Amino acid sequence: MAMKLKKILLFTASLFFYGTSFGDVIPSNAHYVEKCVKITNADDYQDISLIGVIFSVGGDNDCYLISSSMCLYKGYKFNAFYVYAVSNNYLAGKDIQELDWNNDKNAYRSCIDIKPYYGYIADSNPLSAVEEYYEIMGFTDTTVVLHKWKEINKYNNGTPDSVTAFEYEGDLSSLFQHLPTYNEPSGFTVYPNPSAGTINIRIDNSFYGSVKLDIIALNGRTVKSYLIKKEYNRIHFGVAATGLSKGTYLLKFQCGEMVEAKKVLID
């Protein structure tokens, strides 16, 4: 019985060593390289959202909204990471954690893979940090086209930063500048963005009647609702951001049969 228990303990220990040796153990004579990856014009596209999706080994996936100022992340280094573009109109009222990103025809995956994690390298290599900058160039029928336009390498031995710029070599004329499901602008403007105390809204279209406005969190929950009477082509009004936690929300407008969503960051 004691021999059997000893074998079980040895087997368990070997599994632990095997698992951690490929995971969280810091290699000897090595140092960590910090990596920051940004999509610098993500906020310029007010009618779409970019979503970072982390596919974990155990199937417990995680999603987050990408902004221009943030460094992308993907957590544990063996996870797969993809970027998707989706129309705000489609996203409104849905929980991004519940969508089947791989099989959703409304989600447009990036044409290239982005690796937000660098990891450890030998101490003989003086590289200490990497910055990569991407931009949206446009869309095809199935993808969002991203281009890496700059890379900066930093070193820990006094070597000056290495900066490399990259020209886009694709054909811009072949790309859509909106998602193929995009509807022509309906006259909704949200400003400032980010917003703090008040969200200002301008509606400039030919619709007359009641405009329904829902403020929706990214988990799909409606946190505030308004009904605005529109009697002129152009109206201005403000809604208080009081009580809203910091983060990104979708403003869903409905004018009769017309529905449009805008994203706004509460800062």
**Looking only at Cα atoms, what is the longest distance across the chain?**
87
What was the pLDDT predicted at 255? Answer: 87
Mean pLDDT of the chain: 85
CA 65 to chain centre: 3
Q: What is the CATH code of the structural domain delimited by 188-266?
A: 2.60.40.3080
What sign does the dihedral 134-65-245-45 (CA atoms) show? positive
| Overall pTM > 0.85 | no
What was the pLDDT predicted at 76? Answer: 60
- For strand 108-110 and strand 143-155, is the pairing parallel, antiparallel, or unpaired? parallel
Q: Measure the CA–CA gap between 129 and 132, rounded to whole angstroms.
A: 10
Q: Please, are residues 152 and 58 in contact by the beta-carbon 8 Å criterion?
A: no
Provide the token pair at 159. Answer: 């070597």
Alpha helix (H) ranges present in the chain? 2-21, 88-91
113 versus 13: the higher-pLDDT residue is 113
Q: Give residue 251's identity as a one-letter amino acid code.
A: L
Q: Measure the CA–CA gap between 75 and 57, rounded to whole angstroms.
A: 12
pLDDT, tens digit, 9 for 90 and up, residues 202-230: 998 878 899 999 999 988 999 999 999 99
Residue among 208, 216, 226 nearest 262 (CA): 216
3-state SS assignment for residue 174: helix
Write out the residue limits of the CATH 2.60.40.3080 domain(s) in the chain: 188-266
pLDDT, tens digit, 9 for 90 and up, residues 157-207: 999 999 999 999 999 999 998 887 544 456 889 999 888 889 999 998 878
